[in-house]
Structure 1
């Protein structure tokens, strides 16, 4: 007899799809995904990118799934999920009819998810909750902290296990009184096998790509891949980079921006006015396949954001064996970046420290290569394999059924 697991999430997410396929393939597990909306599986307008996008990887293949009906109108192509939308209906009937043993919910900050957790509990279904919040992922007033404490005290009564994405996420839950035995690591990972195989296939064309971008052979490349919005700090990065352009020890690096968004115009104007056009290029939005080629091309990946609950682009770049420089507001940093070993973590807003971190990576090519290898070694231990281990443990502890990854 198989264990029946349901998964509930607002919409298809490109990073999750390959993990859901792995979960669906687990022997002895009957797995089904319920989506609040399927807007992201089609072309949609991302307000931060400021343009219509469509993911270049399959989001719905390889696992059983169903899109739930919604209260109110379906999400529009230019609408993003909120606390109240999409508000799904019919999940209780699906859980009851399907005789599910456990419900795994992604995200605790949606009204329909609160209802789903409470409903599952009333039906005798075990509840697993996974979210990405950390102490640094958002600004919170004292009043909001009090409200959060009341919220966690309440919702913890219906959650059987919290699936933690990393150290900061686990510490966040502990800070609100969640018992340590209820915290099980299910780390935020990407499809390492996909990225590593894609990068291996693209590597022979590395110099062709370099030439197509008008980049001189031998000069190191720094890559920024994120939305061009204030929170991601593309303009301060340009200022920090400008200090390296005439530094002979830094070996005349290039800076590539892969991304789009409302700050693109200001960024391109600043580049033109500063005279950095020969060393800095803005490439626009890139899908996962194109990003894999850029990860392979670059020598250093930089993420200077004001805050990131995680920052899965760090995982992706590490799969290419690249050094990482990021601010101390990146949720992934404590788990994935070891200062001096595979990159640097600098204090957010300290542009001088950012310049110094980049310079330290650039000055010694052999050390830079060693940092990249250290990144690859580290990310190989932070994968879907660990996710399956954690999920199976959570199911075993809550249902008593042994599912082996």
Structure 2
């Protein structure tokens, strides 16, 4: 068989449930179509599928073993509260492009709502064309999106697919502007607070100082050390080279912790050329261990050249960290109150980034951190679920 079902099926497979008042409630049959089971999406699907009124099926184009650039420990393979379906049969279109022929048989089923997690995969495009041709409504979920200077043909392709759905789920203002730019109907956009965090993951304001003290003692940092944190892959898009060049221009007493692995040859060359001595590179680590570094830091820096969202911003602010981001990071633009909980600077501008780092290091970081924490209070997976349920039931 081309379709591999996970061993754990939804624990609530009845089509009808009884409410607290003894009333019969018909379940909504929902189909999500996703690329691969990222841990935060699996947590969202489990919480959504655990709601009595929802019968949830999620189709994944790839299984964890196909994500060879990620550690197996990164994935959450507990699919207890939804039916997880992995498509394994593929037809090559050349290069890395493939079509999953089984997807069509799933979108033909009578689901109450079908939601595509994007449009850029050939299988998504194919299934969307089929549904549109057969006058079947469907939705699209966009965790982020940044308007680009497209060629005419690229703009037409994006507009064709992004204008197709009958409903759009958007992570916020920046994403909604992206969707409407390419033809989405603004009146049909449902905004949800995109996050990788559960309510329990958000720090309490009264615990920030104690957590910082405990984490610094555990990690061996002094209480008066100024510490900046950066986390991400060591790829060009993440802008670590820009950060290193900015570090060369700021107070050398600030210690920069960069989590992502061993420094690349490019990074080493910048460090040697600029005679940088206040940077420490750390390997990727578990979420639990990483939380100590969030707690120990004074502020967070995201120098990305482009991130359609950037969940690391949510995570930093949830730990009460004032945050510096570029203007090509969806979460940075959406969540940071410039000058209040952090700064947003022009992408690739070394001087602007250095100035923001120097400025924030001399500000009241405690007050800024509390504002950052307050800003992300509603950004949890639980709130994401509530928004989707309201939309399904409306």
CA offsets per residue over residues 298-348 of structure 1, 9 Å max, x none?
A: 111111111111111101111111000011111112320001110001122
State the partner residue of 2:57. 32
Rounded Cα–Cα distance in structure 1 between residues aligned with 2:241 and 2:76: 33
Rounded Cα–Cα distance in structure 2 between residues aligned with 1:359 and 1:329: 21
- Which residue, out of 359, 366, 371, partners 1:369? 366
Alpha carbons of structure 1 residues 101 and 122: separation in structure 2 relative to 1, 3 Å: farther
CA offsets per residue over residues 94-139 of structure 1, 9 Å max, x none?
A: 4556x42211110111121123334455777541101245334x55
- Which residue, out of 52, 65, 90, partners 2:102? 90
State the partner residue of 2:150. 140
Rounded Cα–Cα distance in structure 2 between residues aligned with 1:43 and 1:287: 21
The Cα of 1:5 is off from its aligned counterpart by: 0.5
Tell me, yes or no, if the aligned pair for 1:133 and 1:169 is still in contact at 8 Å: yes
State the partner residue of 1:76. none
CA offsets per residue over residues 9-66 of structure 1, 9 Å max, x none?
A: 121112311111111112211111111120xx248432xxxxx623345244333211
State the partner residue of 1:68. 87
The Cα of 1:70 is off from its aligned counterpart by: 2.1
Secondary structure of the corresponding residue to residue 323 of structure 2: strand
Tell me, yes or no, if the aligned pair for 2:304 and 2:326 is still in contact at 8 Å: yes
Rounded Cα–Cα distance in structure 1 between residues aligned with 2:212 and 2:365: 18
The yes-or-no answer on 1:102 pairing with 2:125 is no
State the partner residue of 1:337. 336
State the partner residue of 2:22. none
The Cα of 1:173 is off from its aligned counterpart by: 1.6
The yes-or-no answer on 1:156 pairing with 2:163 is yes
Rounded Cα–Cα distance in structure 1 between residues aligned with 2:354 and 2:203: 32
State the partner residue of 1:401. none
Rounded Cα–Cα distance in structure 2 between residues aligned with 1:93 and 1:172: 31
Alpha carbons of structure 1 residues 306 and 56: separation in structure 2 relative to 1, 3 Å: closer
The yes-or-no answer on 1:131 pairing with 2:159 is no
Secondary structure of the corresponding residue to residue 352 of structure 1: helix
Unpaired runs of 5+ in structure 1? 47-51, 74-78, 247-251, 398-405
Q: How does 1:267-346 map onto structure 2 within 5 Å?
A: 267-277=267-277, 279-346=278-345
- Which residue, out of 154, 169, 172, partners 1:166? 172
State the partner residue of 2:29. 4
Q: How does 1:244-263 map onto structure 2 within 5 Å?
A: 244-246=250-252, 252-260=253-261
Secondary structure of the corresponding residue to residue 6 of structure 1: strand
Unpaired runs of 5+ in structure 2? 1-25
RMSD: 2.8
Rounded Cα–Cα distance in structure 1 between residues aligned with 2:295 and 2:193: 24
Alpha carbons of structure 1 residues 343 and 197: separation in structure 2 relative to 1, 3 Å: closer
TM (norm. structure 2) is 0.83
CA offsets per residue over residues 129-181 of structure 1, 9 Å max, x none?
A: 01245334x552344224433x14xx634x22011112111011212232221
State the partner residue of 1:178. 184
Rounded Cα–Cα distance in structure 2 between residues aligned with 1:299 and 1:192: 23
